[in-house]
Chain A
């Protein structure tokens, strides 16, 4: 029954082995460049000649009209009856014959639905629903996500480069696991004049940062415990807790996967309009330092060149840079495994 034979290499990621030869039974032969295919979000499956097509759904937001078209196209071109929602919020259409690629992308293109990417480049950014309707949201993560997608999606890097956004410190989008992550934060400022000492803020604070005076009920805040979540601001009946500085916590060098790393916080309350510049500069540094290093994530390079990175990025972060930022750290999740794991040794500076 099979009408095509495919010879392939297992290490798809390696450029030199990235040619995929597809031979039709009738003697017709075509060579696909897998590198190119992956840059277009076409992922080879175990099944010969079949691919998973990853769609570009920044922030996991898919307009209903597009969704209808996706359903239509999936019914037509997938050899299965489902789509897969990837962990990074993209819809994937599995079991697509490579010969249908252009028809599929043309059809989706009619409603503006684009194909995502894989491989060594800036990936589709992910984000929570953000402040637009989530009561916890402090910044408009969706808006910023679409902005990142428009400007930075697909930029070539040494390795994959993942960006995510969380609207608040609950950090549903795990900005600590991203090559670059942005999370909303608000600094609470207290106004003594209007405070009635009702103690609600002390109950609202889940970090133990606010204690209310036993007699007067007036709050005292321990800033070292504050997460900048704004619970006190929202809870206060008299608006005596107000918004101070508001912006983004910036984390860099995180990743999940085999050897997870916890991204390092480098800035707090970064204004939204400075986000783009930070992305550009971090990628610039990554591509410069990563030159000739092959497939290596930014976190690994940061482990080696942290002081140099901080010197480079500080002027971009300005007043929002945190003092003495710590390098990204390995997180051990496979506690049974011994051997390879580098220790989080202190580098002498």
Chain B
């Protein structure tokens, strides 16, 4: 009888590079993580626009012509889709993180989510009014 049997050799399964294709939820998660790149792109786009506006009318017109090019349009449409995914998944997460109490009772998570969507809609309407109607 051996006093110290050698420890069992553990098998450590390798993690596949394509693990994120195994489930829909994993894929959605990876796409959501990727969306930060497009959020950053919109920030850059906004800064370019502000810079163009600051530089004068001609510069702004050049910016508009540039942003009307097909590849910029396609990029912005893709970016919009990713930013919407980012926003929707963020708002769906909010009721998980926030526990709101009113009158000693917990507000149902769906109301917390609905309040976020309502706030989003309100801010969008106000911004649309400033941008489109306010001038």
To the question of whether A and B form a pair in one complex, the answer is: no
Which A residues lie at the B interface, using CB under 8 A?
none
